[in-house]
Structure 1
Amino acid sequence: MNIIASDSSSYKSLASMLEGYDCPAILVSVDYRILAINQHYRDEFGEVPLQQNKRCFEVSHGYSVPCDEAGEDCPLSATLQSGRKERVLHIHQTPRGKEHVDVEMLPIHDEQGQLLFFVELLRSVSVASVQDSSQKLVGSSKAFNDMLEKITRVSHSDASVLLLGESGSGKELVAHALHQGSHRANNSMVTLECAGLTDSLFESELFGHVKGSFTGAHSNRVGLVELANGGTLFLDEIGDVPLSMQVKLLRLIETGAFRPVGSSSVKNTNFRLVCATHKNLAQMVKTGEFRQDLYYRINVFPIHVPSLRERQDDLVLLTNTLLKRISKRKEYHLTDSAMQVLKQYNFPGNIRELSNILNRATLLTDTNLIEQNTIQACLEIDRELDPLAETAFAPQSFNVTHSGEDKEWMDLKTAEKRYLSELMAFYQDDKEQVAKIAGISLRSLYRKLE
């Protein structure tokens, strides 16, 4: 089959073929020219003037050269090299601004195996944004896009996912994105924070219990695995699950069957498992702290969640997004010099620490403009309270002057108590808000307050 640019009837037949796809689709020649588009494409991305022989990289990205010459992966080039379909994640120009799009390129050959053209399928990634968003993952750096590509690939399956990354890097948000992008999105996502749970508490939380099964069990309680039926079960900090409980968790994953504490009845559940940890589980397997069989059950599809240091290009976008999440009524902005201070900081606490710093800054500033000295003051608090923060500044860090007088230092526990006490007083004992600002779970806050 030959494609003749001037043959309008050929365009109509090719366009009709594209209508068979349930997503935006375009027909592309081997020299990147867009030959036809379907109605889904028009609805989502707008019209393309086909008579102008526009090339795909011009329309989708505004580039003057192919994607691989502009520093991005090019699915067309990859397909030419491999001879089979290829898939990449791109950031496309759309009528709504820049958006993440999952691109699949299908080569079309004739009977002799000669490559005729490509069908490019484009699916918008709804769980992430390149712009400020209060509900989605945000980012556009290479590290972020690499992670997002893995999320889009695995979301529609039921494969168990293991999220690996430092504390505060946003693993729980990634878990929510996996759930929202799955066919289970209309059902519940249930979270269990495994850190700090005893054997009995872990078992009761996970499987539930019947009235009278232990001291304090005054009524029946439905377990989280039952609440997650049809949805997603997210086990945060899976590396902290007691060793004695790991065999019961393994049996649950393998069979979907469980028994509430104190009950003789076996129940069944069906959930998609997502786990997260900042620990080296492979090393824990070697030292006998984590079961090898459980490790291989949960590590079907690992995803590295990058630290904030790995995605410095996202710092401005993340800062603007977090400021909007922190204050919905008042719009805050950082001066250029204040942003430069943040750019020189290494963020050992990652996005959670950035959120804490910005929360403090909004409280310390008297206007909607956050100045350099305000950010410096917020970072000084971290240096006093967190020993890790002392080494968190880049060598070219800003200078902070100290008076020559002696300073009385308090121990870390006392400093933490004072910090939480001041937050509780400021927010009138609103524990949920205090936990959010402190960057800890509500359960952890209760333990610290006790």
Structure 2
Amino acid sequence: MTDAHDALARALRDDWARVVATLAKRFGSLDVAEDAAAEAFATAAERWPEDGIPPGPGAWLTTTATRKAIDHLRRESSRDARHREALLVYDTDTEPLGVIDDDRLRLFFVCCHPALSMEARVALTLRMVGGLTVPEIARAFLVQDTTMGARITRAKAKISAAGIPFRFPDAADLPGRVAGVLTVLYLIFNEGYLASGADSAPVRDELTGEAIRLTRLVHDLLPEDGETAGLLALMLLIDARRAARVSSEGALIPLPEQDRRSWDAARIAEGHALVRARLESGVAPGRFQLMAAINAVHTDGDAPDWTQIVALYDQLARLDPSPLVRLDLAVAVGQCDGAELGLSLVDALAPELRGYHAFHAARADLLRQAGRPADAREAYDSAIALAGNSAEIAFLTRRRDELPR
């Protein structure tokens, strides 16, 4: 039974995108493809432990999903129409797969269609291809689960109503879609780097590893794209610290307290090289390039240059004035110019971030530095109540309990 479950987990990781892409092309509907694939994987979960693993698990899943899709079309169509739909399965005309060799990455570019808003294409791709749940996507966008579910439903409806074709992108399509794909990969990496759900491991290596793998492929496809290089550098510099991020007791270890000897030196060096190459290009950096530069400063030497970090965050905030970026800027200002000034900037974000645990965690840390333990304890309590990551909760609890009474 364990072998069957392991095989199914591998298939879900490796074959999901290919099965969905194959069915979406045959039937012209992402909805039908996703539903049929989900039914096929559910059938596998029931049958494989009893019947054994089939010789070709991926082919079995594709065949089963195809039959599920045909059954669905037959149920919803008249007799004549359903026969015409079923004939699609035997259509031997195949569209060229385009310039992207990887099945999953190809589907990322398919879903990030420019006819959809950036927010819609990112949310839809995360749900249908990225493997994230609606609650995980909602937390990434700082919205309610129901709000995110409605957005994804509207995106699917727009695809259907507008007749947006399921077509594999060619080389000319990539520049217009790459921004959405990079945002999807960044959010997948974030969910792996610090998982947001209480029922998952604090760090999900399968997500960070897959995000890095796919970003490398995008970089190979678009080697001159600065934001792709920036995102790859950012991921490498963060992932290089993975072994030092969680203690043996299961608590998050903040960067200043990490054992730098356990960092992956090769990934640090590769990330720094990518950042230097972008700086030497003379082209104004974008969002991911600036974030990579900030992490390069954090990983250069024994102590970060907070003046340089504040300057980089200030530049980033002009490109992306989101509340999360402004929160990071406020924290950096607190480290550079004093806790009270940083605290005033953090407090100004309360209307936008009051329901976000990192806002309260940042306030708590600055209040602690400012010598206000009672206020810090209250802020830590708020952060703990809102946090979902077990390692982060353990760290915040330890910080709170260390405060003087």
Q: TM-score, normalised by structure 2?
A: 0.28
Larger radius of gyration: 1
Going by fraction, where is helix more abundant, 1 or 2?
Answer: 2
Q: Specify which structure has the higher proportion of strand.
A: 1
